[in-house]
Amino acid sequence: MSRAKKIARRTFLAGGAALAGGIAFGVWRYHTPYRNPLLASLNDGEAALTPYVLITLQGITLITPRADLGQGATHAQALLIAEELDVDLDQIATDPGTPSVAYWNRALADEAAAFLAPGDGILHGAATTTVAAASKFLGLQITGGSTTIPDAFTPLRAAGASARETLKRAASQTTGTPLAQLTTAGGAVLLPDGTRLPYTDLAATAATIDPVTDVPLRKPGQWRLIGKPTQRLDIRAKSTGTQTYGIDVTVPGMMHATVLLNPAQGGELGKYDTAKAFEIPQVQSVIEITGGLGIVADTTWHAFKGAKAIAADWPEAPMPETMAAHWQALADSFTEDRLDSRKRDDGDVESALAEAEVIEAEYRAPYLAHAPLEPLCAVVRVTDTEAEVWTGTQIPRFVQANVARLAGLKAEAVTVHAQMIGGSFGHRLEDEVVKHATEIALQMKGVPIKLTYSREMDMTHDFPRQIAMARMGGAVSDGRVEAFDLSIAMPSVFASQLSRQGMPFQGPDSQIVAGAFEQPFSIPHHRVTGYRAPELAPISSWRSVGASSNGFFYNAGLDELIHAAGADPLEERLRLCTDARARAVLEAVAEMSDWSGPVPGAGLGRGVALTHSFGVPCAQVVEVRQTDSGLRVSRVWVAAEVGRVVDPVNFENLVAGGVIFGLGHAMFSEITYETGRAQQDNFDTYPSLRLPQSPEIAVRGLETGPEVKGIGEPPVAPAAPALAAAIFAVTGQRLREMPFSKTVSFA
């Protein structure tokens, strides 16, 4: 189609809707609509009925802007649109779309606002509005915080409904059949005589009609797909080696690259000698980048080889010299001037503890690498006028802006091709790999540079999970927990993370106490205080963020008090529990595990934990068996309340995976630094749970609550404390420091 025709058509289309240059439906908008990003590339006879539905003569494409990290986001998003659009899952293609403000994440903004002023009446409302508006302004198209499902649940169904009703109108216009006599199924409008009018044939007409908005959504009883087991859209490709991930991208003329970064995290580039590297004929160039060197070669292997052949003197990084100094910095942070928040202060903790025999303990959680199995990678091509990026990312708009900034281009001149991600756990909420690839590509303009980090670079230059320490003081009387005072010190994850995007963060940082302050227990004297430690190693969001350490601290502390009170850990939690949803998950795991106390038999120990995180109460009972070769985690029962289980297969898989993620790291993993250098650089020194150690896991999803919630993160936090409690039950040993393998042996 000629450019003039295209413009004319858009002008015509824009006439009917309050939109500049688009026919996007209002269903996904907040206060005012955004430009529908799909309209820019339409051809004749194609319709982008909403930013989420693209119909051409060739077929129907659903746009799934939240990144798929393995959590099934693509499938779940497509499922929601397809439910109302009346298409079958085998009739559609999916596409992550281009970075656009239209795809901003409102649920995350709400979550962020809640962090700032949790449950604080008017203040909470005001903060939500402000942060939501700011998030919209920034166009935070972010995947994270278990928000994909809550964010998408209504808008994506509405987008599907809107497109469906517009297509019906097109059919009515084409055939003269009254609207009320038309139905839809299987990607077609059906006439009363049974004639099928495929959506693809109706697209051209639909594109000339004002989109139908405010379509009532179907009731749960009418759902075909939501809540039913379906086959994941990517399952066949992922089972046959035909799924393309970012690391598999091939662009014509592409060169391969890797990086050699200062082994001291955050350190600068020093003196170096490339002579040996250039003895490898396939090494083409060595380019200075921030904090190190980029090595360009014909293959990844020769780039790796070249990197190993470079000798360098590396300057020190701004980090404490020893691991002991990291811990000391935390120990020194429990002070008034480092007080970050006291979001819970029930009763009179000071007086209660002054009058009682105080039970005290200190807990530690180490740095942890994200270490998804796909190492960081990005393909970047820069010219004088434009740039293209092929990468898996949770922050496509930041990627676009950073490449634009480095290349001296406008953001619109940077195209981001979002790729399937081979695991993330928060790793791809950072985009250093894209910045490095861009720095290399800028020195080789026009050549697509495929940068692949070696596993060693990926692990040693990860921004790990926060290091954290907690101190507990408590008291019991008459078989009950009377006072529970928990103080937590950690550096601010958000401050560290946002600093790499050039954004300031004032605090308080609710993640310092997340997974602790908001737990649904009513204890007469109860206080949770957060202390913000200075930045030590740069850190980032790691699956469940603050709750990943605090869920352990809170439950472990509570468990010690319940034991001191002589109460049953599950019964006492139920007695203290104030929230119906949390009670329901506790009761569910009690029933599922046939709970009869911490020691159900000889050589067996059971522990229970509950963490409310990301709006989801999740309870777990973990069973440990004492064997000749060490402790074996034999069974786990887990229940979570999410309002609505959208995709039951994926739900079960994500919950079991989250439990294994939580257990495995608590058992085996830590990153330690000496003079700023991570001491673990691969899976030999950073062990994970493996198949023989994987317990039987029974999962139950409860649908009693009013809101739909995400499940990617909530199962992680309760796993470690439930395991620690089970180990205590069978060995009598209190584990207060992760990883537990420092203290006990696992089979």
Partner 1 sequence: MQLKIDSRTVEVDADPDMPLLWVLRDLLGLTGVKYGCGIAQCGACTVHIDGVAVRSCQVPAGDVWGPVTTIQGLGTPDAPHPVQAAWIETQVAQCGYCQSGQIMQAAALLAELPDPTDDDIDSAMEGNLCRCGTYPRIRAAVRLAAAKMREQKT
By the criterion CB under 8 A, which residues form the site for partner 1?
A: 69-72, 231-232, 234-245, 247-248, 250, 256, 299-301, 304, 371-375, 421-425, 452, 454-455, 649, 653-654, 656-661, 664, 682-684, 688-692, 694, 696-697
Instruction: Give the CA dihedral 78, 82, 83, 89, nearest 10 degrees.
Output: -80
Q: Considering the complex, what minimum distance in angstroms separates the CB of residue 660 from partner 1? A: 3
Q: Is 40 or 649 the residue whose CB approaches partner 1 more closely?
A: 649
Q: Considering the complex, what minimum distance in angstroms separates the CB of residue 715 from partner 1? A: 10
Q: Considering the complex, what minimum distance in angstroms separates the CB of residue 623 from partner 1? A: 15
Q: Considering the complex, what minimum distance in angstroms separates the CB of residue 693 from partner 1? A: 8
Q: Is the dihedral of CA 395, 399, 405, 408 positive or negative?
A: negative
- 92: Cβ contacts below 8 Å, ≥ 6 apart: 59, 60, 61, 62, 78, 82, 187
Q: Is 50 or 454 the residue whose CB approaches partner 1 more closely?
A: 454
Rounded Cα distance, 700 and 705, in Å: 14
Q: Is 363 or 686 the residue whose CB approaches partner 1 more closely?
A: 686
Q: Is 94 or 519 the residue whose CB approaches partner 1 more closely?
A: 94
Rounded Cα distance, 312 and 299, in Å: 23
Rounded Cα distance, 107 and 104, in Å: 9
Q: Considering the complex, what minimum distance in angstroms separates the CB of residue 309 from partner 1? A: 13
Rounded Cα distance, 447 and 388, in Å: 11
Q: Is 248 or 348 the residue whose CB approaches partner 1 more closely?
A: 248
Rounded Cα distance, 57 and 217, in Å: 27
Q: How far apart are the first and last CA of the chain?
A: 67
Under a CB-based contact definition with an 8 Å cutoff, are residues 489 and 338 in contact? Answer: yes
Helices (H), 696-741: 719-731
3 state DSSP class of 561: helix
Q: Is 352 or 638 the residue whose CB approaches partner 1 more closely?
A: 638
Rounded Cα distance, 468 and 737, in Å: 10
Residue type, 12: F
Instruction: Spell out a b/e string for 436-472, using b for 16 or more CB atoms within 10 Å of the CB, else e.
Output: bbbbbbbebeebbbbbbbbbbbbbbbbbbbbbbbbbb
3 state DSSP class of 727: helix
Quote the tokens at residue 266.
């955050």
Nearest to 392 by CA among 372, 407, 412, 369: 372
Q: Considering the complex, what minimum distance in angstroms separates the CB of residue 649 from partner 1? A: 5
Nearest to 523 by CA among 362, 347, 357: 347
Under a CB-based contact definition with an 8 Å cutoff, are residues 295 and 307 in contact? Answer: yes
Place of tokens 């046959």: 240
Q: Is 175 or 685 the residue whose CB approaches partner 1 more closely?
A: 685
3 state DSSP class of 158: helix
Q: Is 350 or 696 the residue whose CB approaches partner 1 more closely?
A: 696
Q: Considering the complex, what minimum distance in angstroms separates the CB of residue 443 from partner 1? A: 22
Judge residue 85's burial from the number of C-beta atoms within 10 Å of its C-beta, 0-12 exposed, 13-18 middle, 19 or more buried.
Answer: buried
Q: Considering the complex, what minimum distance in angstroms separates the CB of residue 650 from partner 1? A: 8
Quote the tokens at residue 643.
């309002």
Q: Where is 604: in which H helix or E strand?
A: strand 604-613
Q: Considering the complex, what minimum distance in angstroms separates the CB of residue 274 from partner 1? A: 20
Q: Is 68 or 110 the residue whose CB approaches partner 1 more closely?
A: 68
Q: Is 33 or 712 the residue whose CB approaches partner 1 more closely?
A: 712
Q: Considering the complex, what minimum distance in angstroms separates the CB of residue 581 from partner 1? A: 25
Q: Is 688 or 741 the residue whose CB approaches partner 1 more closely?
A: 688
Residue type, 719: A
Nearest to 452 by CA among 296, 578, 344, 639: 296
Q: What is the DSSP letter of 363?
A: E
Backbone angles phi, psi at 156, to 5 degrees: -75, -35
Task: Please list the residues that pair with 63 across neighbouring strands.
Answer: 95
Q: Is 232 or 364 the residue whose CB approaches partner 1 more closely?
A: 232
Rounded Cα distance, 570 and 610, in Å: 10
Q: Considering the complex, what minimum distance in angstroms separates the CB of residue 417 from partner 1? A: 16
Q: Considering the complex, what minimum distance in angstroms separates the CB of residue 71 from partner 1? A: 7
Q: Is 236 or 276 the residue whose CB approaches partner 1 more closely?
A: 236
Q: Considering the complex, what minimum distance in angstroms separates the CB of residue 657 from partner 1? A: 4
Q: Is 213 or 653 the residue whose CB approaches partner 1 more closely?
A: 653
Distance of CA 313 to the CA centre of its chain: 37
Radius of gyration of the CA atoms of the chain, in A: 27
Quote the tokens at residue 466.
């926060």
Q: Considering the complex, what minimum distance in angstroms separates the CB of residue 680 from partner 1? A: 12
